[in-house]
Structure 1
């Protein structure tokens, strides 16, 4: 092990001496100020803001010496999306105990519904509490088929192996649920979720993961509805946490009519490549999402644009500067650089890339996602989202030691494992990480998530902390050197392992 570390250190030291100057805060800030400016309109997919963003990224990569790797030799790969925007809904609920019935009032401000199609309705549909939407497929089908399922958004406790929300909702739809109503748990999350749900929400076209009617309901309203039905919401949630939980039929029937605005359009991933001398030895992928929410506030408000400076103009700025450095260094493996669309609405660009990749996924030896990197004053301590999930932990730790960085061993950052583009690759068995100092200080991260995150205040202003982002960017250059070289990382890609 000592020899290995010395060898790696020598390789890296030689590379450092031959390269251009390290990435600085000023390098990153310049890109962030452009990408997060009002001129880019919040970088919402399908808008003029997208056109400006993807053109800026492609131009920067071309000037860096990266070559296009998109469709038909271009920088871009189209991603077919569908936006669904709630227009109006009518909902009538009746409590029925088998003998008598009574109407139940529901606060329309704390329930938001939209349909898979322009017009959708259901009549006398029984509600069923489906917990987290997990369970045996056959049993679930028997329980929820033809019903309006209520499910919980948040996974129980700290269970990293728990299916993500998207899969759990799809599970209920596949089981035949007519509709899915998701309980959003706290006040801050409800306000943000409601604001986003009322605006256009993108999904992949033809995805087949939408019930006829879907919606969200606040915890407060769910508890009130259960109380009026003679049930206890906290008790139901506690039951859902049990391993032997079974969906619970509710004495509530619903009549619902929904109108939804449907908009089909094309967005784009941006894909570039830095060719290696021996592409047969595999490839390395760096990615980050370019999209944000566009105009996310109502007309008349002073500031309507969610600029997304930290999330994720900062990650794209890192990819631009890392590409500039890596394009100047001879290496063995191809290095792909990917800027994805529609991450904010379900990792959609990454999923589209994984379904139709520019490079065979089994050729990837390592994947690194850059997201929300501008939160720390320095990068001495780094969090590794994906630590403990693959066989590359030791390699990452060796590189960190060589670069004078310390890895946060608490693994708290893995709470975000399924909320970032890297998860799309990790769930396919590809070693994938999101390595950032921004997630190493829980208090600072929590403050961002409770404040500027997904808000109009996430701007390129004096509150940006770019010391850690610059350190992280230089660390990603080191990652690129290491994994793109067969001298420092000789292990074969998945396809080569299988061939042997």
Structure 2
């Protein structure tokens, strides 16, 4: 069995503000064979793409529960009869079209039939309605669909858009020019399709259609189709229409160009106009008909949760997160494959979490508790982590940090590493410092324009103030450098991301993932043995909410009796 085994310095010479240096950082071992086996299992056809509310979920939850127990964790989920369970129940609204919806537009007086998944990808309604019936609804171009008072921006200009379908551009107004009111090339939350749907609901719109373009979206139409034409999910909301307009969906750029041409303008002219602060909504010479019946139900999915209680401060936590779900069974690809295995996304992140749990359980018990949270329904909008953020099992104010892994490297070791987004916070400082001791450098997110910070489960915890990061493997590979790393990423985005081709390959090299796991172990262990509380930078949008929970952290935690470390693995006992 191949292991990555790295001894570390005993004393840190430097420490970033707010983080005290740990005196000892013990060695951690990670087996490449174990990592590969988890990815092979979770990414197999037997798990049917791991979609919530399917047989694939049942198998996945059972596998994670078994592996967490074998690793040496204790159940860390819901309380039942005074005992923790292995899962946190997550009620979700599930909605799916009973049959392909009838969709058509009238453009410039001419009927234009549309096919679900081709020119348009309409999502099953998440308003709780069992039917989506739109008849001759007017279309209005609403620029980027942004209303941001703090940036002096309003694409709506007070117009009454109730009952209309808004057509909006993906990303935010700075993407094309690289500068402006939205911080330049890096996407803000205003650029995310989730925000655009939310704002459409606030405007009282009958629907929002996002215009797809590969570069500003950061993925191709195949990803849009595969992610939006199957079953949709949302957390159960008291007022779902406050978050969702009746119609949510995407359209191809070519269809948008037809809409603009019929309105005596052009796609290029409208896109240029939308980048200006004085933009006003433009009524289009087009209407939309959409008729579809939806099967809706409230189902219960599960976050899987394991814990190692802290030795002296068990009420303080460090959390490792990752999503276990993928897209399940969907439309066939060109080869007829209908299973969206998600071996990389996110079988790799969950494999890391299982082995991270094993590493912690085999070592001395940390002062703080370490929680391992495998969340559901990330692919449906970060829903499992959003539910946890709203219904935390452990106090958010006393959560020292969250380390998320979503898509790990399978090409061997890298000289660099990154995190999703360009936010500044003490947890990142700690990661950079630990990596430097290992001869690795931090590369700022090369895809900040893709809004990567808002596309993984750490974001929902950041919104409630918890310092949270999502680790990203480096592109500067020891074997092949950045040329090989970037070529892999380009191919992955084009041919594998949210497609059936994301399948296990026997020639993947897990030594880089083991290297990354050792780094993330050192960061988590140092934080778990620290009395410090990382925070966001003073200008961060998450700083204020974190500061409001400061009183929780200032209270002295009760001293608990030391807990014994879990025994080391014995052959045949821990898988």
Q: Same fold (TM over 0.5)?
A: yes
The alpha-carbon deviation at position 355 of structure 1 amounts to: 0.7
The alpha-carbon deviation at position 372 of structure 1 amounts to: 0.6
CA distance in 2, matches of 1:131, 1:439: 35
Q: 1:165 aligns with which of 172, 193, 201?
A: 193
* Counterparts of residues 165-244 of structure 1 (less than 5 Å): 165-186=193-214, 189-206=220-237, 207-208=240-241, 209-244=243-278
Q: Match for residue 527 of structure 2? A: 483
Q: 2:134 aligns with which of 106, 111, 122?
A: 122
User: CA separation of 1:382/1:250 partners in 2, compared to 1, >3 Å: closer, same or farther?
Assistant: same
Q: 1:9·1:402 contact (CA, 8 Å) conserved in 2?
A: no
The alpha-carbon deviation at position 497 of structure 1 amounts to: 5.2
Q: 1:374·1:468 contact (CA, 8 Å) conserved in 2?
A: yes
CA distance in 2, matches of 1:170, 1:468: 39
Q: Match for residue 96 of structure 2? A: 85
Look up the SS of the partner of 2:101 in the other structure: strand
Structure 2, gaps ≥5 residues long: 1-10, 176-184, 477-484, 536-545, 555-575
Q: 1:140·1:172 contact (CA, 8 Å) conserved in 2?
A: no
Q: More displaced, 345-354 or 375-384?
A: 375-384
User: CA separation of 1:291/1:221 partners in 2, compared to 1, >3 Å: closer, same or farther?
Assistant: same
Q: Match for residue 353 of structure 1? A: 388
Q: Match for residue 308 of structure 2? A: 274
Q: Match for residue 289 of structure 1? A: 323
Q: Match for residue 543 of structure 2? A: none
Instruction: Name whichever structure is richer in helix by fraction.
Output: 1
Q: 2:416·2:475 contact (CA, 8 Å) conserved in 1?
A: no
User: TM-score if structure 2 supplies the norm length?
Assistant: 0.78
Q: 2:418 aligns with which of 380, 383, 399?
A: 383
Q: 2:40 aligns with which of 33, 52, 55?
A: 33
The alpha-carbon deviation at position 298 of structure 1 amounts to: 3.6
Q: 1:375·1:444 contact (CA, 8 Å) conserved in 2?
A: no
Deviations 1:283-341 (A, max 9, x none): 11100000011122349964321111111111001000111111232211111110011
The alpha-carbon deviation at position 170 of structure 1 amounts to: 0.5
Q: 2:142·2:282 contact (CA, 8 Å) conserved in 1?
A: yes
Structure 1, gaps ≥5 residues long: 97-101
Superposed CA RMSD: 2.8
User: CA separation of 1:254/1:339 partners in 2, compared to 1, >3 Å: closer, same or farther?
Assistant: same
CA distance in 2, matches of 1:295, 1:256: 25
* Counterparts of residues 389-428 of structure 1 (less than 5 Å): 389-408=424-443, 410-414=444-448, 415=450, 416-428=452-464
* Counterparts of residues 30-109 of structure 1 (less than 5 Å): 30-72=37-79, 73-86=84-97, 87-94=99-106, 102-108=109-115, 109=118
CA distance in 1, matches of 2:447, 2:214: 21
Q: 2:120 aligns with which of 111, 117, 121?
A: 111
Deviations 1:367-416 (A, max 9, x none): 110111033320431112245432333322221123332222x4315441
The alpha-carbon deviation at position 63 of structure 1 amounts to: 1.6
CA distance in 1, matches of 2:197, 2:468: 25
Q: 2:24 aligns with which of 11, 22, 25?
A: 11
Look up the SS of the partner of 2:426 in the other structure: coil
Look up the SS of the partner of 2:310 in the other structure: coil
Q: 1:376·1:438 contact (CA, 8 Å) conserved in 2?
A: no
The alpha-carbon deviation at position 91 of structure 1 amounts to: 4.2
User: TM-score if structure 1 supplies the norm length?
Assistant: 0.89
Q: 1:379·1:469 contact (CA, 8 Å) conserved in 2?
A: no
Q: 1:148·1:178 contact (CA, 8 Å) conserved in 2?
A: yes
User: CA separation of 1:198/1:2 partners in 2, compared to 1, >3 Å: closer, same or farther?
Assistant: closer
Q: More displaced, 188-197 or 428-437?
A: 188-197
Q: 2:402·2:468 contact (CA, 8 Å) conserved in 1?
A: yes
User: Is 1:474 the counterpart of 2:518 in the alignment?
Assistant: yes
Q: 2:426·2:534 contact (CA, 8 Å) conserved in 1?
A: no
User: Is 1:459 the counterpart of 2:459 in the alignment?
Assistant: no
CA distance in 2, matches of 1:469, 1:435: 11
User: CA separation of 1:463/1:344 partners in 2, compared to 1, >3 Å: closer, same or farther?
Assistant: farther
Q: 1:46·1:265 contact (CA, 8 Å) conserved in 2?
A: yes
User: CA separation of 1:443/1:299 partners in 2, compared to 1, >3 Å: closer, same or farther?
Assistant: closer
Look up the SS of the partner of 2:419 in the other structure: strand
User: CA separation of 1:85/1:324 partners in 2, compared to 1, >3 Å: closer, same or farther?
Assistant: same
CA distance in 2, matches of 1:133, 1:352: 26
Q: Match for residue 349 of structure 2? A: 315
Give the number of equivalent residue pairs: 487
CA distance in 2, matches of 1:107, 1:392: 48
Q: More displaced, 427-436 or 469-478?
A: 427-436
CA distance in 1, matches of 2:308, 2:272: 52
User: CA separation of 1:499/1:341 partners in 2, compared to 1, >3 Å: closer, same or farther?
Assistant: closer
User: Is 1:135 the counterpart of 2:147 in the alignment?
Assistant: yes
CA distance in 2, matches of 1:312, 1:179: 31
Q: 2:398·2:553 contact (CA, 8 Å) conserved in 1?
A: no
CA distance in 2, matches of 1:10, 1:179: 56
